[in-house]
Every structure is written in structure tokens, then in C-alpha cells.
Chain A
Amino acid sequence: MRDFSYTRATTIEDARQAALQAGSAILAGGTTLLDLAKCGVNEPDELIDISHIRGLDGISVGESEASIGALAKMSAVADHPLILKVYPAVAQSLSLAASQQLRNMATIGGNLLQRTRCPYFRDPATFSACNKREPGSGCSALGGVTRNHAVLGTSESCIATYPGDLAVALVAFDAVVDLGSRSVPVEEFFLEPGDRPERETVIAPGEVIIGISIPASAAARNSTYLKVRDRQSYEFAAASVAVGLELEADGRIVKDVRIALGGVATKPWRARAVEQALVGKALTEEVILSAARLSMEGAVAHGGNHYKIELAPRVVARALRTLGGLA
């Protein structure tokens, strides 16, 4: 039997110190970590349970920004009345994720760091080649079953999709990850695989997510998260989008728009080209359609996932229509 040690951190400093050790892993809600331990993907020698650190689960929504502690539960954030009001897309991205039981367990910090659902990544006993697990070993997904693999941000080393929903909404609204000693915009926090798919974020050994902050904006206030999948509930996105929209005083011209995509890219994907094509224009069906198409600039399909290139722009367009009152 594999032995590991378990430590309950009482302060963030404790956790940082412990997390410096090679082979250690931070445990929050455990819904990703335990799952990966069972698959044999993640087998830490030392677990540092941060779930008992006090004061890390706060949710506060102020004039200029919202701050959410790393240990806030997904369900608590999803149901928070001010998050629902001021950042509806954020609340929706959480309530449309996983299941109620998981949302009650899982934390915001852990949620950001959830790992890909690539079935080859999750079955090391059968598929030894996976660059993300074992750098340089190859990629079993290439040439395999790829219906849910990414079409954006892929590399020859890895085509795994970033599966989470929350981070997509956060990227849209320029949220920032608080790592204690430094703060990093969520968009930069996540890395494209390039030739080092094992590095998924900029987080360094000994760093712990303390929380996130989301700047207030008119676009965030008028926002939505649209998630498309075959099963009505409890499935990762085939394609999803977080959209926030602010119109000029005339109620027609786009003043500010934020768009990020999920389920189609190797990291939460901000669709700036679409945003740029919309700002300053009146939202018409034609404008929406031609802008939405830009969301797939540079997309590359691998076998079974080609439908995502068609689907994602439609999801973007639908969300824009809904917010723009064209639906």
C-alpha cells in the first residue's frame, strides 16, 4: 500500500512551507485530487490539507471589485446574492458545473486547478504516452478518440482541453489570482501547452492560491454564461462562453464587450478578436455572426472534435443575441 503523510495546515505560511517539498500536494475539497489519485495520475507523498485554514472562504462584493477566498465553496459563490447580481456569468459558470454534491465540496482555488478530462491522461496503466503526465513520452490522444479535445491553443505535444467553467468567466472579466506574494491576471495564470504541457499554470512550488478578485464592470453586471453539452446537467462543456456586454447610452452601440470560451481550448480562452470586431458597432445579426466567426481564428481540428469549430461561434452568437436583446 502506498503510504503518504497528511498534515493539516493552520496558516497559509504553514501551507507554503509544506508545499515547497517535492512530492507534496495541497488538498482543498479533494474532488480533483482524490479522483486523480485513484486513477494513478497523482500520487503525492504528502498531503497538505488547507481546508481548515481560517478566513480563506470569504466572499465580499464591493464597489470596485469582488474578492473570493480560495476556500469558498463553489456552491456558496454560485448562490451568493451579490455575485448573482453583479457577476451573473460567474455565478452561472459555477451552478452549471459538476453536480450539487461536488459543488458543496469543491473550492474556488481547487476549481481553477482542476485538470483535463483527456481519457488518455487519466489512464496511465494503459496509455504510457502522455506528455502532460510524463514529459517527452508522447501524446496518446493524437490518432485516438478526440471528440472532446481542444481546437484552440493546441500544440504538437498536447491537445487536451481545459475543462473548467469558472475560469472562463474569470478570464472574460479580467479577474486576478492572488498568490500572496504576487497577483496574476487569470488569463496569464494559465499557460498554453506549447512543448511543455506538464506546466499548466504559472504557480510555482510553495505558492498557494489565496483568492481571486474580479473587477466590477458594467459588462460583468450584464453578463451570461452559456454552456452547451449533450447531457442537460453534470457534463463538461462541448463548448461554452462567458459574455458580458455594455452598450452606449443610445442602447445600440457596443461600448464594452467581454468574451471568453470554454470546452474548446487548452486554457480558458479570451476571444479578443471577437470583442474588437464588436466594439463601436450596433449589434445586428450580421455583425454578431461575422464577429462570432472570428472566435475560431487559428482553430485546428483533430478528428472527432471538428464540430467544435462550428459549434463555438454559434454559442458566442447566441449569448450575444441574448444579452443584446435580439433573441
Chain B
Amino acid sequence: MTIIEPRKHGSAADGRVGGRLSRFEGELKITGNATYALEYPVENVAHAVLVQSTIAAGRVVSVDASKALAAPGVLLVLTPEDDLGLMTAADWFGNRPENQPFHPLPKVVRYNGESIVAVIAESREQAGEAAKLIRITYEEAPAVADMDDPKASEGKLLDAMTVEWGDAEKALAASPVRIEAEYRTPREYHVAMEPHGLTAGWDGEQLTVWEPSQWTHGMARNYAEWFGIPLDNVRIVSPFIGGGFGSKGVALPYGAVAVAAAKKLGRPVRLAVTRPQNFTSYGGRAATRQTISLGASKDGVLLAIVHRGASETSVYMDYPEQTGAATPILYKVENFSSQSRVVPVNAVTPGALRGPGKNPSAYGIESAIEELAYKLAMDPLELRLKNYADHDYQSGKPWSTRRLREALTEGAEAFGWARRSHEPRSMRDGKSLIGWGIGCGTFPVIRAPSSAMIRVLKNGRVEVVSGAIDMGQGTYTILAQTAAEALGVSIEQVDVVLGDSRLPGSAIAGGSMLAGSITGAVHKTANAAREEIIGLALNDPNSPFRDTGANTLVVSEGRISVASGDGPSMTLPELLSVLGRDELEVTRNTLPDDAQSASDRMNAWTSMGRVQGPTMGDTSMHSWCAHFVEVRVDEDFGTVRVSRMVSAFDCGRLYNPKMVESQWRGGIIMGIGQALLEEGLVDPRNARTINNNVGDYLVPTNSDIPDIQVISVGVPDYEASALGGKGVGEVGIVGVAPAIANAVFHATGKRVRDLPITLEKLM
């Protein structure tokens, strides 16, 4: 358990919700004092190394482990022949198949890079060297390398994702102005700085797993169900996470392997997934393709949108990357049709990567809308404002808050959009063609309950405690601010304890839902704690406030006093001491009153069962943004550099603008990588992603990133969350890639419809 103590910067207002308090754990991280999962000091630990398949499909005929077993230090080799006795765990929604065994080291190979064997030795080096001695004999089967493989199918139509209103085909056919184009995105990967891995140890029937986790309670349930032990017997410890971006939400097969090995050996096991293995241990963003047809009147009124999308999935699970997710809600349109397919290929099942669905979807619709603008000879900003969606045409509901118009106009103002010349190739500086583009983004407000505990201690400290996590978004920091403000104590008094499944449960740090959820829970808990303190002070026979005749008291800067200013005033520890108490502990959750049973709670903290989508209430709730980009494209070489960026956001109220701006900028930087660099290169012959390392899978460097000006145009949205914020973590990446593609078109007159925009596409 790690207690993070605040350090104060700036003014006292920084300690309240909305203040620009610096990151609580920042100093620990930059001084190397934050302990990550693979560094956890554990006695007598053994080391596991995975051996992955080098074929795309087939069957493991045999594993010759004799040389590996004879190698120095080797303790154990696990192969598909070993029945680890595991059972399949519940899915995200808590559904669990009956009596279905789970084999984390399978006999049937479904993708290149699937883990087949694990070698466990006294040291990591010994395990790694022995792993090279493993000989696997396969019987190969035909494979589908990717969605462009001639053997790939057209894909399965997912009816649940079909969205229709009006008569889009007919309205399109009748539209005087039409565009149609196909947009494609490649496989993209999380490449978090901290690779996957874990340290796991058993103490009798008690299992402790140190593993970076976006969801400690959810992961604990995965392990409990795999190993058939009570949930309470599993403890996931994850105080620090070196980046997740969606890849660390659930326990993965290698985790089961390490825990099973620890059980067999009767000693702790550490398993570090190598960087190349990271590319297949959890799926990145699926490759997508989508065709978008837009119909409009001659003066630019959007009349129809027809969208047909497809994304890659694995051969063993349907995971849609929803290219139709943003399409229906960005613009006002009376006729709409969207259909989505998944194309099974021999790859690991894709996963959620920052802005899932919305991200490639926005690339499609936001590219198409600019294509339409050029067809109409209309300013792309004007076209967007002209077709501004006054309500959500998909659900028919009003927006809770939607300040996208302000984002567009204030962003345009800050960027200087009015100075733009419309024609492509009309702005240049020597050999640099200069282009400007816009891309809008959106991400739904997803709501979920959470719980928290607050402890007021005799030593003057206040602890905020939750199983929620902080992977850099600022959870530690904003919870201290929330508790300090609601309780009436100074921020210096607050400690925050997070990242442990033994602590009160919370929503997943995913879908941009955690901040809104957990601040709500902490706010509620802190208010309850303050009420309880005041109640005790008024009613306890030992309390000096009992005789003041006051019917309430105030708590401010850690002191409790009578509102009028007359009478006693004391610090909270002084009060605890006159009351004869060591501490005061209050736990609350934000589940409905009729869902407070033990099973309701367990379900809420370990599944998506209580998660509410953006239109489950009376309104439609989303975060919004508009990105304005300037690119410089070398006329001869086709190299693209982003030279200036302004992005305006409506994310409601910002709990800590400093943290939020860093989230936005981080998303934008990933978006620049997506637009210009990132692409999993798949060898068509064996379906292997061959640039599976950070030397070859390129993400932006500092010199690829210009100054990024971010602007908040949001207003508090108390339907979206208790404290008025909407999600900030993912919306930042959404719309960046089309803004860049649009700017590249404006610069060069070339429309690149498949990411990334590498130089040969512009030469």
C-alpha cells in the first residue's frame, strides 16, 4: 500500500476542485521512487519467460523441452500438455460459461505470437536462454494474414451495430452534391512505456499479484475465477502504472501462466513480457476500413450519410472497432445508415486503445466532411457550423451540454482560421507546402458507480482510500482536492491510497469514466464524514460544542467551529481527542439504495453490469473537441511535420486543469503518431507483425510535436457527473488524425485515405 502525500504548489485555491495542483506522485516517479510491478521486492522469486508461436495457425504437435529442462537454473517448463486446472472467467459483463476449462497455453495456434510455452528459472537470463532451446513442432493450417488477404471474408455483419433513420440510400441518390470515399486505418499498438508483466505469489490459498492494472477489482475477479478461489483471496496491487491506454484492463493469459507456475513451484514468480511479445499479448487497435457517402444540397445542407465499416477481429472472438461510433452524432442529418462488420483474421483479438471506435470513426467522417466542403467550394469550418447538430439525431434526445460550436469558433479564433486561403497548395514557405485542417472529436460520457473510504486520524492526517487506480491521469491528485474541499481540510493534510483490490471498489479506469465516477464517490464520502464529525461534535456528551446551542457547525482548514464565529473552535484531532476516539472512518458508494447487497457491490466493482452509456438518461452526454492543425509538407520528399496546433475542448468542468491539459495533450500527441507514423506491418506470409519493437514501430519524438495550445470551452454538466466533469482521457486523440489529413490535403491537394500518412503517399 502506498501513501501519497501532497506537496503544495501555487495558491491555496490549488487545493480545491478546479485548482492546478501538481501531480501528487510526480516526484516519486521522476526520482525513481515509485515501485512498479516488476520491481516489487519479493523474496525467493523465480522468473518466467514466454515462448510464442512463429506460425499463424495450426496445431502444436509436440514440444521438446528436454534441452531447456537440462539448462542451468531451469525449474519448470509449462507446455500445452500441462493441464493447469483453470476455468474460464467471466467476461466484462459478468457472464461466465459453465464448466469451461481455460488453457492459457493452447494446443491450437490461432495467431503468430501466441504464447505456447513458459520456461521458469532461477533468473530471468537463465529462463530466457533456456526458452531459446524449446523446440515446438507444429502442424500448420492455412491462415488469413489480414483483412486484405485474398482469403479474408467480407466479414460478419453485426446487427446490433446497425444504425438507421430516415431513408439514407434514397436521400443520398436524390442529393445534388455527393461524395463517396473509403478510409482505412492500420493496426495500431498501445506501446506503453511500461511493458506488461507481473509478480505473483501464493501464501497458502491467498494470492497476491503485483501487476499494472486499470481495474484492480476486475482483475482480481479474473484470477479468482481462473483458479477457483474466493474473490477475497486475491489481492491485486497496482499503485503505479506506466501507461495503459486500454491494454491493462483485464488479466491476460500470461498472468494465468505466471500464477499457475507460482502455485506449482510454491514460490513467487515474476514474468516480464518482452517488448516484441507485448505486440501479441494483448491486441492493439484493429485495422479498419470504412466507406462513407455524404449527400448535400448545393448550399451545403447535409442530407444523407451512408456508412459501411469493417474491422479486423480474431478467429476466436468478435471484437468490433466501431467505425460508426462518431458518425451519427457529429452532424445534423435527417437520413442516416450505418452498418459494421468484423473480418476474422489470424491475429490476437484486438483491444481497446485510447478512443476506441470514436477514433477511426472520426477519421472517416471528419475526412469526408472536408471532402464535401471542397466539393461545395465551402469553408470546412462554415460547413461544420451550418450542419451543427442541435440535438442527438441518433437517440432523439437533447444534449446534456454540447459546446462544440464554441470549440469550433473559439478554436478558429485562437488559430487564426479566418486568414486561411481556401485553395489547396495556396500557402507555402519555400519548399514547404503549408496546410490547415480541422478535425472534430467526441467521446461519450460513461457513468459507473464507485466507492471510497475516508479516515480522519488523530495525528491530523486525512486518508482517502479506494481501489481505483492512477496511470498518470491524476487520480491521486484530484481525489485529494475533492476530499479537502468537501471535508473542509487543507490539502496538506490529505493522503491518498489507491491501486489495491483490497480497498473499496471502483469503476474501471477506462472509457474515460473513472474521474467522474470516483470523484463522485469521494465527494459523497467526504460529505458524509463531515456530517458525521459535526453530528458527533453537536451530540457527544464530551464535546464542548454540545452546549453552544448551534444546530450546525462549520469545518474549514481543518478546524471545526460555530458558524457565527463565537464559541469553541478546534482542530479535528483535538475534537477526536475530546471525544476519546482514535479515528473516524466513513465508507460510501454511489450505487443506488436498492442495489446495496454484497452481490450487487461485487458485481458493480468487477463487471460492466452497472455501467451506463451516454443516452441512458433523458439526455445525450458526450465530451467534444475541435482540433486546428497546421502542417508543413516538403514538396519533394512528402515528409509531413505538424507545425502548429490549437485544440478546444468541451469536457464540462475540469477538476484540475493542469492534469486535464496533460491528458488532452497526451491524446493529441498519440493522434499525431497515429496520423503520421504508427502502423503494424504484417508479413502476408506468416501473419506476423514484423515491426514489433519500438525501434521499428515509430511513435512521435519530442521534435515531432509542436507547441499545442489547448482551450477549455466547457461548462459544468451535473448530469454527466456529480462534480460536473465529462471524460477527458480519450477525447483528445479523437479527430487529430483527420485534422492532419485535412491539413495535408489543403497543403498538397492530395487526399490520403489510409493512415499513416507516410512520405511515399505524398511524393
B690 touches A145 (CB 8 A): yes
Shortest CB-to-CB span from B742 to chain A, Å, is 19
For A106-138 the 0/1 string (1 means CB < 8 A from B) is 000000000001011001011000000000000
A318 touches B636 (CB 8 A): yes
For residue B569, which residues in chain A have a CB less than 8 angstroms away from its CB? none
Known: A144-B690, A145-B681, A315-B637. A40 touches B132 (CB 8 A): yes
Tell me if B149 counts as interface (CB < 8 A to partner A). no
Tell me if B412 counts as interface (CB < 8 A to partner A). no
Interface 9-residue window, one of B362-370, B537-545, B645-653, B699-707: B699-707
A145 touches B683 (CB 8 A): yes
Cα A152 to Cα B110 with chains together (Å):
38
A232 touches B73 (CB 8 A): no
B683 touches A144 (CB 8 A): yes
For residue B129, which residues in chain A have a CB less than 8 angstroms away from its CB? 1-2
For B129-140 the 0/1 string (1 means CB < 8 A from A) is 110100000000
B700 touches A307 (CB 8 A): no
For A138-152 the 0/1 string (1 means CB < 8 A from B) is 000001110100000
Shortest CB-to-CB span from B688 to chain A, Å, is 6
Scoring A40, A120, A230, A233 by chain B CB atoms within 10 A of each residue's CB, the highest score goes to A230
B681 touches A228 (CB 8 A): no
A311 touches B703 (CB 8 A): no
Closest to A226 in B: B637
Closest to B698 in A: A231
Cα A144 to Cα B690 with chains together (Å):
10
Tell me if A235 counts as interface (CB < 8 A to partner B). yes
Which of B71, B690, B760 contacts A1 (CB under 8 A)?
B71
Cα A235 to Cα B686 with chains together (Å):
26
Tell me if A229 counts as interface (CB < 8 A to partner B). yes
Cα A1 to Cα B701 with chains together (Å):
36
Tell me which residues from 163 to 216 in chain A have a Cβ below 8 Å from any Cβ of chain B: none
B677 touches A230 (CB 8 A): yes
For residue B132, which residues in chain A have a CB less than 8 angstroms away from its CB? 40, 125
Tell me if A327 counts as interface (CB < 8 A to partner B). yes
Cα A192 to Cα B691 with chains together (Å):
25
Closest to A234 in B: B701
B701 touches A232 (CB 8 A): yes
Tell me if B126 counts as interface (CB < 8 A to partner A). yes
Tell me if B763 counts as interface (CB < 8 A to partner A). yes
Cα A145 to Cα B186 with chains together (Å):
15
A314 touches B685 (CB 8 A): no
Closest to A321 in B: B431
For residue B760, which residues in chain A have a CB less than 8 angstroms away from its CB? 307, 311
Which of A228, A307, A327 contacts B639 (CB under 8 A)?
A228
B690 touches A231 (CB 8 A): no
Cα A143 to Cα B78 with chains together (Å):
35
Known: A311-B637, A314-B637. A233 touches B703 (CB 8 A): yes
Tell me if B204 counts as interface (CB < 8 A to partner A). no
Tell me if A310 counts as interface (CB < 8 A to partner B). yes
A120 touches B700 (CB 8 A): no
For residue A327, which residues in chain B have a CB less than 8 angstroms away from its CB? 430-431
Cα A233 to Cα B763 with chains together (Å):
20
Cα A327 to Cα B429 with chains together (Å):
12
Tell me if B299 counts as interface (CB < 8 A to partner A). no
Q: How large is the interface on A (under 10, 10 to 19, 20 to 34, 35 or more residues)?
A: 20 to 34
Tell me which residues from 337 to 396 in chain B have a Cβ below 8 Å from any Cβ of chain A: none
Cα A119 to Cα B73 with chains together (Å):
31
For residue B125, which residues in chain A have a CB less than 8 angstroms away from its CB? 1
Tell me if A296 counts as interface (CB < 8 A to partner B). no
B763 touches A310 (CB 8 A): yes
Cα A317 to Cα B634 with chains together (Å):
14
For residue B72, which residues in chain A have a CB less than 8 angstroms away from its CB? 1
A147 touches B690 (CB 8 A): no
A231 touches B700 (CB 8 A): yes
Tell me which residues from 55 to 114 in chain B have a Cβ below 8 Å from any Cβ of chain A: 71-73, 112
Which of A143, A230, A317 contacts B758 (CB under 8 A)?
A230
Which of B130, B636, B696 contacts A119 (CB under 8 A)?
B696
For residue A120, which residues in chain B have a CB less than 8 angstroms away from its CB? 690
For residue B71, which residues in chain A have a CB less than 8 angstroms away from its CB? 1
For residue B702, which residues in chain A have a CB less than 8 angstroms away from its CB? 233
B676 touches A230 (CB 8 A): yes
Tell me which residues from 294 to 327 in chain A have a Cβ below 8 Å from any Cβ of chain B: 307, 310-311, 314-315, 317-318, 327
Tell me if B402 counts as interface (CB < 8 A to partner A). no
Scoring B677, B683, B702 by chain A CB atoms within 10 A of each residue's CB, the highest score goes to B683
Closest to A118 in B: B690
Cα A235 to Cα B696 with chains together (Å):
8
Cα A141 to Cα B132 with chains together (Å):
23
Tell me if B2 counts as interface (CB < 8 A to partner A). no
Scoring B128, B639, B677 by chain A CB atoms within 10 A of each residue's CB, the highest score goes to B639
Tell me which residues from 224 to 248 in chain A have a Cβ below 8 Å from any Cβ of chain B: 228-235, 238
Tell me which residues from 216 to 270 in chain A have a Cβ below 8 Å from any Cβ of chain B: 228-235, 238
Cα A58 to Cα B128 with chains together (Å):
39
Cα A231 to Cα B128 with chains together (Å):
33
Which of A2, A125, A314 contacts B636 (CB under 8 A)?
A314
Tell me which residues from 526 to 541 in chain B have a Cβ below 8 Å from any Cβ of chain A: none
Shortest CB-to-CB span from A232 to chain B, Å, is 4
For residue A1, which residues in chain B have a CB less than 8 angstroms away from its CB? 71-73, 123, 125-126, 128-130
Scoring A120, A126, A144, A310 by chain B CB atoms within 10 A of each residue's CB, the highest score goes to A126
Tell me which residues from 629 to 667 in chain B have a Cβ below 8 Å from any Cβ of chain A: 634, 636-641
Known: A230-B639, A314-B636. A238 touches B759 (CB 8 A): yes
Cα A147 to Cα B704 with chains together (Å):
21
B641 touches A232 (CB 8 A): yes
Known: A123-B690, A145-B683. A231 touches B701 (CB 8 A): yes
B703 touches A307 (CB 8 A): no
Cα A243 to Cα B676 with chains together (Å):
28
Tell me if B54 counts as interface (CB < 8 A to partner A). yes
For residue B700, which residues in chain A have a CB less than 8 angstroms away from its CB? 231
For residue A318, which residues in chain B have a CB less than 8 angstroms away from its CB? 431, 636-637
Closest to B125 in A: A1
For residue B758, which residues in chain A have a CB less than 8 angstroms away from its CB? 230
Known: A1-B71, A235-B698. A228 touches B704 (CB 8 A): no
B703 touches A232 (CB 8 A): yes
Scoring A315, A318, A327 by chain B CB atoms within 10 A of each residue's CB, the highest score goes to A318
B685 touches A144 (CB 8 A): yes
Known: A2-B129, A228-B759, A311-B759. A119 touches B690 (CB 8 A): yes
A126 touches B636 (CB 8 A): no
Shortest CB-to-CB span from B747 to chain A, Å, is 16
Tell me which residues from 40 to 64 in chain A have a Cβ below 8 Å from any Cβ of chain B: 40
Closest to A307 in B: B760
Shortest CB-to-CB span from A11 to chain B, Å, is 31
Known: A1-B129, A145-B681, A314-B636. A126 touches B701 (CB 8 A): no
For residue A310, which residues in chain B have a CB less than 8 angstroms away from its CB? 763
A307 touches B763 (CB 8 A): yes
Shortest CB-to-CB span from A275 to chain B, Å, is 21
B677 touches A231 (CB 8 A): yes
Closest to B681 in A: A145
For B680-697 the 0/1 string (1 means CB < 8 A from A) is 011111101011000110
Closest to B688 in A: A126
Shortest CB-to-CB span from A313 to chain B, Å, is 10
A126 touches B686 (CB 8 A): yes
Q: Which 6 A-B pairs have the closest CB atoms?
A: A307-B760, A232-B703, A314-B636, A126-B54, A1-B126, A233-B703
Q: What are 20 A-B pairs at a CB distance below 8 A?
A: A2-B129, A117-B695, A125-B54, A126-B112, A126-B688, A144-B684, A145-B690, A147-B681, A230-B639, A230-B640, A230-B698, A230-B758, A231-B701, A232-B701, A238-B759, A307-B759, A307-B763, A314-B636, A314-B763, A317-B636
Q: List chain A positions with a Cβ less than 8 A from chain B.
A: 1-2, 40, 117, 119-120, 123, 125-126, 143-145, 147, 228-235, 238, 307, 310-311, 314-315, 317-318, 327
Known: A2-B129, A229-B639, A233-B702. 5 other contacts (CB 8 A): A123-B276, A145-B683, A230-B677, A311-B763, A315-B636
